[in-house]
């Protein structure tokens, strides 16, 4: 199983995941009309892998995000907890395939089959 990343950027990792897009290259001027519903989808998907740590906020030097590297997934896409905050508060591009997926699911995350391959796929982004 391969999960597609959304809102996961190489700056979230130290010397790892160079294949991910750069946060700087993801800035956009386009605001989706259903942006709030898409963020709601990200917030409502089940937690896949909880991490008890705080990560440094990438836009605000003196701020930390509790559980920021925790992973969430809908079984097709994967994102970090801090990804939700960045996508909600910053003008960042959200992949069209993900937007179409969310809309096709009527903004409701599906139940996830949490088998071994699911956890193996999640750990790739940890």
DSSP secondary structure letters along 87-99: HHHS-B---HHHH
Average pLDDT over residues 3-30: 90
pTM check: above 0.85 = yes
CA separation for the pair 37, 93 (Å, rounded): 15
pLDDT bucket at 119, cuts 50 / 70 / 90: confident
Across 110-121, average pLDDT? 78
How far apart are alpha carbons 2 and 35 in whole angstroms?
25
Express each pLDDT in 42-63 by its tens digit. 999 987 888 899 999 999 989 9
Residue 114's pLDDT is: 72
User: Rounded distance, CA 89 to CA 36, Å?
Assistant: 11
What is the pLDDT, as a whole number, of residue 15?
A: 77
- What would the pLDDT profile of 85-105 be if each residue is shown by its tens digit? 999 999 999 999 999 999 999
Q: Which of 2, 6, 27 is nearest to 99 (CA)?
A: 6
Q: Which residues are 66's β-sheet partners?
A: 54
Residue 112 has pLDDT above 90, yes or no: no
Q: How far apart are CA 124 and CA 3, in angstroms?
A: 9
């Amino acid at each position: 199983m391969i999960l597609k990343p959304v809102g996961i950027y190489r700056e979230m990792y130290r010397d790892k995941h160079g294949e991910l897009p750069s946060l700087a290259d993801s800035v956009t001027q386009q605001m989706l009309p259903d942006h709030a519903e898409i963020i709601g989808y990200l917030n409502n998907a089940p937690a896949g892998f909880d991490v008890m740590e705080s990560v440094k906020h990438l836009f605000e030097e003196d701020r930390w995000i509790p559980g920021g590297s925790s992973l969430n997934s809908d079984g097709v896409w994967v994102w970090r907890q801090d990804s939700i905050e960045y996508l909600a508060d910053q003008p960042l591009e959200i992949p069209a395939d993900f937007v179409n997926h969310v809309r096709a699911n009527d903004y409701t995350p599906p139940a996830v089959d949490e088998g071994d391959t699911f956890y193996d796929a999640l750990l790739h982004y940890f």
